[in-house]
Amino acid sequence: MTESDFNFGRLNPEQKQAVQTTEGPVLVLSGAGTGKTTVLTARLAYIVQTGKALPFQCLAVTFTNKAAAEMQERLNAIIGEDSRSLWLGTFHRIGLRILRSHPEKVGLSAGFGILDGSDQERLLKQIMADQHIDLKDNPPQMILNQIQRLKDQGLTPEKADQSPIPAGPLVKRLYGLYQDRLQAMNAADFGDLLLYCLELFNHHPEILSAFRKQFKYILVDEYQDTNVIQYLWLRMLACGHNNICCVGDDDQSIYSWRGAEVGNILRFEEDFPNAALIRLESNYRSTAHILAGASGLIAHNKNRLGKTLRPAPGREEMTGEKINVSGVWSGEDEARKICEQIEREQRHGTKLSDIAILVRASFQMRAIEDALLQYGISYKVIGGMRFYEREEIRDATAYIRLLVQPKDDMAFMRIVNKPRRGVGDTALQTIRQKAKDNRISMYEAAKQLIQEKALKGTAKTGLERFFALHDSWRQKAEETTPDEMLRQMLEDSGYMEMRRTEKTPEAEGRIENLRELIGEFKGNYDTFEQYLEYVSLVMDNDNAATVGDHVSVMTLHAAKGLEFDVVFLPGWEEEIFPNKKAMDEGNTEEERRLAYVGITRAKKRVYITFAGSRRIFNQWQNNLPSRFINEIPAEHVEMTNLSSGGGYDYGYGGWNGGAQSYFYKKEKKASYFGNTQKPAFQIGTEVYHSRYGYGKVVAADRDNTQVLFEDGSMKNIKADYLEIA
């Protein structure tokens, strides 16, 4: 087939250019919804069908197996079974394939194994035990994460000191011992697959030369997400012919926390002189207002190559609705307003599966999930578990269950050795058998075994301390509020300290979720029993909630690559989004890229909300609206003047004077945020509570309000937690 005979289908001019520019280095800046996969597939088909290379001479690297499978399926339809000989897959898959051809060159033999995450941790624990290293003071998962980060930087144990974040002596020593043990086992972990490839290429130039000659054309997807070792690996393979085409979007680089280097794409033209830079700016997903709003926002980033999304040919008239920005009184009010808008969307024919709620941090999900359950809206958490299903929340709930009901064997087994108290499997089996033989609870059985001196050593000591803690908690429980009691239990038990010392990527989120759970008690539950009753109902509803049509709830990071008709973006407040930690670390631009990703997930409508006050980890917090709101061009925004529960209207002043220009426009707004305490409610006022629903005030002062709710219950609740219905 000649180049003129190739069927370009419906490719627009910029896409066609990206397909035809095959020789030399090419960087394709592919904005959200611009047909990136279509271009990659067409480019591979063009190279093969015009005779520029045979399929096995093409290397195409993706970040996910899903993306590779999708591309493979499309290529099968275009060029047939020949596509099977393409080198198409993830970095790890391609690296493994290269290593399988020369394992002996890196100290491995044919058929070497690949350890998964659990096997890696088990192996490291064995090594640490042999070295008499305390696992509590040095969590194995933390050590493993540091080792993997060193591998992502292309650093062997001997070169660990070259890391931008130098590894400590212990990590360096364990890294060496860990690699030695892997070699002895004839095994590798996922981090080794590219690390060994670099070793292979560096020490055996003839092998590198052979692969360079084989791969006449190299294609890389999601180049903005590459880390150091992926970058080095690609550079080594591409040097010579330089026929490398990298497709990515610097405006969607949001994974620096897991090693991604946005600098890889920003310096592409420096790494490959005379590179062609092609911008895909025609968007096939979103309306004009959404695209212009997102483009205006991301333009505030300085470190970017620059592009402006616009509607694709034929979609110019699809202006759509403006981005809706609204202010609400509180986080609970925000969740309720989102549910009400979802119900309106449903009435207008939008399916739940076409709706997504995207949050900056997982702790925001709790209030949203509670509201969705109260409104009977089916939902599913994508990329993670529901709030009450998370390990740390189940653990905390188990502490509560055992305090309320010591005969709860499942709760006892879950937390008796969490954190570690020396109560191993053998001791637990003894306790379980004692309980079975005597038809008593495991809690009672353990106490009897201690009295009978049937348990010894660390198990005995650990259980005695555990029971002493329980006795003290039961004494305090009657005179302590549930939120304070839970906080004390998690601290006294060492559970919070265990989570603090994990130092895993998930650790910070786990601590935030626990703090959110503690905060949930204040004003919502008078007793632990009320909480347990609520959770049982939640978990019962969960089984049905994920079946059929449902709203997708996820973090902004998990949403990348997805699209929905309608997107809700709650919590756009300073220190929440942009995140305070990110700002302190100088990563505000990545936060803005995250906002850009959130907006561009939407096809038809975007709803952004911010709250005047928000209860975060048991503390009421007043934040300014996010700076990102002010950076969206005014002509693409509709500001909804919602009336807050406290009777304050949100005006929308100018967009050019910073966050305060529209939020503090009038004196009453400033006074509202300067004083979070609401005045006493009038008797007879109809009010709303995020947990108990609607009711009527029967007595009130500045501190407490007595409310008769629709279900007949009477509650004394602080005015701060009530809103005018």
Catalytic residues: 36-37, 221-222, 252, 601
H/E run at residue 640: strand 637-640
Strands laid side by side in the 87-90 sheet:
87-90, 58-62, 217-220, 244-248, 26-30, 276-280
Among 543, 536, 530, 570, which Cα is nearest to 692's?
A: 530
Measured CA distances, 534 to 291, 357, 524, 546 (Å): 42, 23, 11, 19
Among 253, 325, 291, which Cα is nearest to 599's?
A: 291
Please tell me the distance from the alpha carbon of residue 543 to that of residue 334, in angstroms, as a whole number. 25
How many C-beta neighbours within 10 Å does residue 682 have?
A: 9
At 618 the three-state DSSP class reads coil
Which DSSP symbol is given to 416? Answer: T
Please tell me the distance from the alpha carbon of residue 218 to that of residue 213, in angstroms, as a whole number. 12
Element counts in the chain: helices (H) and strands (E): 30, 24
Please tell me the distance from the alpha carbon of residue 257 to that of residue 248, in angstroms, as a whole number. 18
H helical segments located in 569-693: 580-584, 588-599, 627-631, 659-663, 667-674
Please tell me the distance from the alpha carbon of residue 459 to that of residue 465, in angstroms, as a whole number. 10
Query: Helix 228-238 vs helix 190-203: angle between axes, to the nearest 10 degrees?
Result: 40
Torsion of CA 50, 51, 53, 54, to 10 degrees: 110
Please report how many Cα atoms fall inside a 13 Å half-sphere around the Cα of residue 583, on the Cβ side: 11
Whether the CB-CB separation of 341 and 568 falls below 8 Å is answered with yes
